[in-house]
Amino acid sequence: MGTRDQDQGAVVEPARAPLTVAGAREVTAGLREAMGDVRRTVAVLAARVRDADGARVWVPLGYTSWEAYCQAECAISRAQAYRLLDVARALAAIHEAVHAGTALSRTRDTAPAALDYGLSQRALVAVCGRMDDVTELITCHLAALAHSGLNALDEQTVGTVVRQAVRDVRTAPPPAPADPSADPVLVALRVVVDELAAHTHQVGELMLEVAPAYLSDTDAAGVLAPLCEQIGEPLDHGLAARRYALTGDRRALHGTVL
């Protein structure tokens, strides 16, 4: 039990013994396991949402819509109700693309685990409007691997392909100008900017692991300040990267990283 500071009225936590390397590895393993559990939960939830929506579960219960059903039965907002549908449909599209292009066993099609590719709900929402691009990338990459001589792809390889396709679509550079400059300096500069944006998106994903999306910029700043100091990143750059990872809009980087 901690003791209460009589002057400040706050609970003072007892000092903790420094972790050993082995202890730190154990804590890290537990953290990774918990993150994996969260991602698997997203997959299971998406499968349940897809089943409920497909069965129009709200009709026999007397609700007029999916929205009304979710608000009454699950106590979630209209926005979250439709966000769940976006996640479920995005995962279903990815699942179909994977099983059309691999020799993975089709006996797993109905299992919730079949939809677990290590993707976060945030990533799926970000690409739900561009699923044609995502599934095209998945199909092309799986076809290329099959052409290389791999008759059957294991789940780890497939998961890597899927995550890379989602990442590529989220961080895709904006369309080139209708009349692009032929100046080699400008062409090279555009490539550098695209690479910087892709790297910054990865930094932003790290920031979101530490300061989740529900935190405001003000609250996130307090959480991220020690991390940014540790990795040598200015705090305003870290916050901009976090906003970019949330939105996929490069304008979030203007005035800081770009």
Residue 202: the pLDDT is: 81
Instruction: Give the model's pLDDT for residue 150.
Output: 62
Q: Residue 118 region, left (φ>0) first, then alpha (ψ -120 to 50), else beta?
A: left
According to the model, what pLDDT value does residue 64 have?
92
Q: Which residues of the chain have pLDDT under 50?
A: 1-7, 105-115
Question: For position 189, what pLDDT does the model report?
Answer: 79
- Angle of helix 184-210 versus helix 217-231 axis, rounded to 10: 110
pLDDT number for residue 191: 77
pLDDT at 36: 64
